[in-house]
Amino acid sequence: MANDVLVVVEEQDGTVTDATRELLGAGRALAGELGGDVLALRLGPGSLAEQLAGADRVLHVEHPALEPYNPEAWEVTVAEVAKDRGARVVLMATTTVGMDLGPAVAARLGAPVVCYVVGAAVDGGQLVATAKIYGGKLLAEVEVPGEAAVLVAIGGSFAPASGGSVPEVEPVPAPAALDGLRTAVRQRIEPDRSDVDITAADLLVAVGRGIGDRDNLELVQELADALGAPLASSRPLVDQGWMPKSRQVGKSGLKVKPKAYLMFGISGAPEHIEGMRDAELIVACNTDPNAPIFEVAHVGTTADLFDLVPALVERVG
Ligand SMILES: Cc1cc2nc3c(=O)[nH]c(=O)nc-3n(C[C@H](O)[C@H](O)[C@H](O)COP(=O)(O)OP(=O)(O)OC[C@H]3O[C@@H](n4cnc5c(N)ncnc54)[C@H](O)[C@@H]3O)c2cc1C
């Protein structure tokens, strides 16, 4: 129906992701305002319907090309289903899949796409999305024109759907185009999970380019060890091969939310701040009093890290 909301389902090891449940919650509210249904679109083996309460129906498409994620196969399928059903809104999450798929599906549909969405509503029949721009520095309220739109929502922005019964499953034939794809997934490479998970740490010591030299990392590592905290870093240290990728905080790294984030020699570029701004306590050490990090730090010092860190090690150790 022309007022339906289509939610693209993502799962991990058979479990529907939290982000998908949030999309179902957002979808329920939007569908209520539009007077349509929430359709969960599941691509791959198993409908997962018992985990998709909040949807009115699960549209289930099965085809070998849909699992694991193949961008071309998903793009063709999501766009075809959205078009066939005349969906008013297609909702995806800001994940590796959603960020890849959202603009491609929108282009295929000839519909607008809004990324980094944190709010969505219908105002006098008009779809209005609120989105983060400039790395989250500003919120933009966008009136989304047209008869269909793709919204790519940031996790944690909407309350997950709660309650509701197991939705009915409607098998949907796979598009014929899936048998003639130009893209094939050859191998799935799992990330190295042997390293410590910095996203789970309550306390993090983070170091940036101010450390100057790889050999100096020993100094901050000593402090991290004394505090029982993992050592994290800004991106340049990872790019130089001084720190593993699993320790990078930021836009193209990991998002962390520790109780305390102690930073040494990090300037506070928006791409770094995006990954740590939710830390409960941010303590920054940077010799430049005009460094942007002092705009977000709760506690700051312009002390030289080469003076401060050894002094802290002595105090803690
Ligand atoms: C698409 C994109 C994605 C990106 N993703 C990320 C990301 O995920 N994470 C990330 O971190 N960056 C990311 N970046 C890079 C980002 O823009 C910055 O370049 C980077 O964060 C800067 O790292 P830094 O603060 O360590 O280095 P710098 O900006 O060089 O800052 C070093 C700081 O150390 C201070 N300093 C120097 N000596 C001392 C001393 N002795 N004591 C104390 N302070 C000292 C200096 O005053 C300076 O402020 C990304 C960029 C792009 C374009």
- Ligand 1 atom nearest to 267, measured from its CA: 49
Q: Which of 99, 211, 272 to mutate to test the pocket of ligand 1 (most atoms within 8 A of CB)?
A: 272
pLDDT tens string 110-168: 999 999 999 999 999 899 999 999 877 799 999 999 999 999 999 889 999 988 899 99
The enclosing domain of 303 has a CATH number of 3.40.50.1220
Q: How far is the CA of 296 from the centre of ligand 1 (A)?
A: 15
Q: Residue 1 — pLDDT band, cuts 50, 70, 90?
A: low
- 114 CA from centroid of ligand 1 (Å): 29
CA-233 nearest atom, ligand 1 = 11
On whether the CB atoms of residues 20 and 11 are closer than 8 A, the answer is yes
**Residue with the nearest Cα to atom 18 of ligand 1?**
269
Q: Is the CB of 312 within 6 Å of ligand 1?
A: no
pLDDT tens column, 76-100:
999 999 999 999 999 999 999 999 9
State the first-to-last Cα distance of the chain, in angstroms, to the nearest integer.
66
Amino acid in the structure at residue 5: V
- Phi, psi (5° rounding) for residue 216? -75, -10
Q: How confident is the model at residue 172 (pLDDT cuts 50, 70, 90)?
A: very high
Residue with tokens 């099965």: 62
Same domain, 256 and 147: no
> Is 225 close to ligand 1, i.e. is its CB under 6 Å away?
no
Higher pLDDT, 150 or 2: 150
Domain count, the chain: 2
50-54, 83-87, 189-193: which range is least confident on average? Answer: 189-193
In a domain, 192, yes or no: no
Looking at the fold, whether 164 and 238 belong to one and the same domain comes out as no
Going by C-alpha positions, the residue among 1, 249, 62, 25 that lies closest to residue 156 is: 25
234 lines ligand 1 (CB under 6 A): yes
| Burial (CB count within 10 angstroms: exposed 0-12, middle 13-18, buried 19+), residue 172 | buried
Which phi and psi angles does 83 have, rounded to 5°?
A: -70, -50
CB of 154 within 8 A of CB of 118?
yes
How sure is the predictor about 195, in pLDDT bands with cuts at 50, 70 and 90? confident
Residue 12 has pLDDT above 80, yes or no: yes
Residue nearest to atom 8 of ligand 1 (CA): 250
Say yes or no: 65 and 138 in one domain: yes
DSSP string, 281-296: EEEEE-S-TT-GGGGT
125, 148, 180 — which closes off a domain?
180
Q: Which atom of ligand 1 is nearest to the CA of 237?
A: 26
Evaluate: CB of 265 within 6 angstroms of ligand 1: yes
Q: What are the CA-CA distances from residue 123 to residues 4, 65, 116 (Å)?
A: 16, 39, 20
Asked if residue 207 belongs to a domain, the reply is: yes
Q: Are strands 299-301 and 281-285 parallel, antiparallel or unpaired?
A: parallel
CB 235 within 8 A of CB 271: yes
State the average pLDDT over residues 244-251.
94
Query: Is the beta carbon of 233 within 6 A of some atom in ligand 1?
Result: no
C-beta 210 within 6 A of ligand 1: yes
CA 139 to chain centroid:
17
Q: Among 43-47, 190-194, 229-233, where is mean pLDDT lowest? A: 190-194
209 half-sphere exposure, CB direction, 13 A CA radius: 9
Residues 6+ apart with CB under 8 A from 37: 1, 4, 5, 31, 56, 57
The helix or strand, by DSSP H or E, that contains position 28, with its residue range, turns out to be: helix 18-34
Q: What is the mean pLDDT of residues 254-265?
A: 96
DSSP string, 147-216: S-EEEEEPTTSSPPP-S-PPPEEEE-PPPGGGGG-S------------S--GGG-SEEEEE-GGG-SGGG
- How much is the average pLDDT of 286-290? 98
- 128 and 174 within one domain: yes
**Distance between Cα 272 and ligand 1 center (Å):** 7
The finding on whether 269 has its CB within 6 A of some atom of ligand 1 is yes
Domain boundaries, position 222: 198-316
Let me know whether 11 and 46 are in one domain: yes
Measured CA to CA in angstroms, residue 98 lies from 90, 116, 180, 315 at distances of 11, 10, 23, 47
Residues 259 and 164 grouped into a single domain: no
